[in-house]
Amino acid sequence: MVRERSQVGLQDCWNVEAIFPNIDVWQETFDQINPETRPRWPQIADLKGQLNEPTLVEAVLRLYFANERMLSLLYTYAHLRFDEDISNDVHKTAFSKISSLLNDFTEETSWIEPELLSLKEKEFSLLLKDPELKEYRFYLEKMARLREHTLSSEQEELLAQSLKPLQAAQKAFGAINDADFKFESAVDGKGQIRELTHGSYGVFIRSHDRPLRASAFKNLHGKYLAYENTLCELINGQVQSHVFQAKAKKYPSSLHAALYPKNIDTSVYHALIKAVTEEIDALHSYIQLRQKIMKVDTLHLHDMYVPLTGDIDIKIPYNEAEELIIESVAPLGSEYQNLLKEGLKNERWVDRYENLNKRSGAYSSGSFDTMPYILMNYKEQIKDLFTLAHEAGHSMHSLLTHKHQPYQYGNYPIFLAEVASTFNEELLMHLMLERARTNEERIYLINQKIEDIRGTLFRQTMFAEFELMIHDFAEKDIPLTPKLLKEEYRNLNIKYFGPKVCISKEAEAEWARIPHFYYNFYVYQYATGISAALALADRVLNKDKQACQSYLNFLKSGSSRYPLETLKIAGIDMTTPDPVKQAIGKFRFLVKELEKCF
């Protein structure tokens, strides 16, 4: 049975007390920065209408970032506590309060950017050249680029006020998905009842017990199918919020609105889908090989994750997983390796195991003034080992960025986020393959790497295509209905998996359980990220010292440049299809290697 949070040992919990000793201290700090009078940030408000000289611009930016920094610290503690047990009313209230205060901060400071951009271009150019604003120069350059998409001060304030209600769909999905949904138990091949949760589903779907896999798949997705109308309205609400914000900011589409601020052309998104579509036969070849190895007449989606050898069942206890991951990053040098070792072993970055009402999945989080925190639901499966390596990659990216950048550039852009995480997975796979003692282990690991690329490059591109599709429908006033979403999702499954794979009615509803569809064009970055990471890892593993240093410099860059420029520091040009094509080339090579093993 899944444990209550109170039953989890301290050594298995992340060290949130390093931020605030307890919720009472958090509350005291919150109260100190949350006066009842308005404006809540009078020092910032007093500068309104005066941003016409460098000294005052420097003052408002310094105040803005100092307050945002404290709010971020408060938010980090509250959201981590909330995710430990989303049914805990105390932590839920704290999370709601800080989220609300962050919205207030966005509203009260929404005038800064419009006021600065109301300056004539010549006046703004002088600000960029002023030595007093040197540390904010790139920040201001990015702001200037958004001039045509910035509204008046009053309109920006109104738009900021809309953010809170526009989050309702995403929050409602999180509540129903992580807390309210209880799944019908799965039944294994011996007729035994198995408790089905988000965490156990990941184990069951990889089991060699085919009836168990089928039962888990049907019962989990069947729950979403039963609520298809509600879930359709929630995803529609989220998409409509993206459409509204894009129109309000005068972007031609939601996709433009999501990519333009990062200086990423929409052609990068479309080129990814095009490159994968042109090479989709690589995935079909693997599907056919999987069916042949499994010796099944019809391949179902619940057959896609089971290891292709029944002679090995790798179980990796959590402490062993830490050791493997720490050893695997040795090619990046002792400084990187020791920082990671200290975080995992002594600083308690990781919340390790599933507990009742804990948020599902895994992530790396934190703020500029905290350690990076990792949420896991570790089940001793090899996929959990690689998930931990993945999140450790994110955490080290954050740590190095915070060490080498000032606060205003201390977060890396989302476009770059999946590079470091996938890079670490590749280093771990290299170590595991070196240590493979039998042909069965080699099969297992090669298949795992194939599945990584399938899940991160092909699957996420499929998700990206679906996400683009539903936004296009909304922008063309085509109603999003359960029937339409199921049909389109079925068509995409057929395109990516091939016409011979069975797509059940439950599989048609998978769109309803994917939280990333609420993140506003996030998933394509998994695919671009793995493409860049595979190329970078190959260079580092070939003991190219310059490539290693370039990669470390990439990790330290934060948001001090536009993301495509930052990748070029590491030697990757994502404006061309080459990295994606190279990644698919590696996928083809691995499929051939797998076939040789049988």
């790139």: which residue's tokens? 138
Q: Catalytic: 391?
A: yes
The 10 Å Cβ neighbour count of residue 310 is 10
Q: What's the CA gap between 536 and 548, in Å, rounded?
A: 9
Across 349-362, b (16+ Cβ under 10 Å) vs e yields: bbbbbbbbebbbbb
Measured CA to CA, the distance from residue 482 to residue 203 in angstroms comes to 29
User: How many Cβ atoms are within 10 Å of 9's Cβ, its own excluded?
Assistant: 9
Tokens 């769909």 -> residue: 169
Give exposure, 222-244, as e/b (b: 16+ Cβ within 10 Å).
bbbbebbeebbebbbbbbbbbbe
Partnered with residue 375 across adjacent β-strands are 351, 363
Residue with tokens 């001793």: 380
Q: Please state, in angstroms and rounded to a whole number, the distance separating the CA atoms of residues 283 and 276.
A: 9
- 261-299 exposure pattern, b = at least 16 Cβ within 10 A, e = fewer: bbebebebbebbbebbeebbebbbbbbebbbebeeeeeb
Catalytic residue among 108, 115, 228, 391: 391
Residue 536: which residues within 8 A CB-CB, separation 6 or more? Answer: 419, 423, 547, 551, 570, 571, 572
Rg (CA), the chain: 24
Let me know the angle formed at the C-alpha of 389 by 79 and 441, rounded to the nearest 5 degrees: 140
Exposure string (b/e) for 21-55, b if CB count within 10 Å is 16 or more?
eebeebbebbeeebeeeeebbeebeebeeebeebe
Whose CA is closest to 375, among 40, 118, 5? 5
Q: Cα(248)–Cα(262) distance, rounded to whole angstroms?
A: 18
- Taken as a whole, the chain contains a residue count of 598
List Cα–Cα distances, 342 to 13, 98, 328, 430, in angstroms.
Answer: 16, 30, 15, 23
Give the Cα separation of 448 and 433 in Å (integer).
11
Q: Which residues are catalytic?
A: 391
